[in-house]
Amino acid sequence: MTKEPFLDWKYRVIEHKTGNEVKDFFLLFPAVDPIARVALKAYAQTTPNKLIARYIIHWLELLDDAGMNEKEKEPKGKHAK
């Protein structure tokens, strides 16, 4: 994957079955990012793979049950209000 100047590639994803590095991926953190949950819900609603859709919806429900439906941390540092 070509490194774009505005992106900082922090993660290396390895395919479990082959051990090969995955070059094209997009990483979401739904436990702390409410927009990631919106994206996952939209994916679950539109994918033809019903098994994956059920897994995603179940995962999102678990996050909600755990109280992870809102970002809880306050901003820190010199730019915090």
57: its two tokens: 């919806």
Of the candidates 24, 61, 25, the one whose C-alpha atom is nearest the C-alpha of residue 41 is: 61
Q: Which runs of consecutive H residues, i.e. helices, occur in the chain?
A: 34-46, 50-65
Q: What are the extents of the domains in the chain? A: 23-65
Tell me: the pLDDT tens digits for 33-56? 999 999 999 999 999 999 999 999
> What CA dihedral angle connects 23, 48, 66 and 26, to 10 degrees?
20
For residue 52, the one-letter residue type is I
Give pLDDT tens digits for 9-23.
Answer: 788 899 999 999 998
Does the pLDDT value for residue 28 go beyond 70?
yes
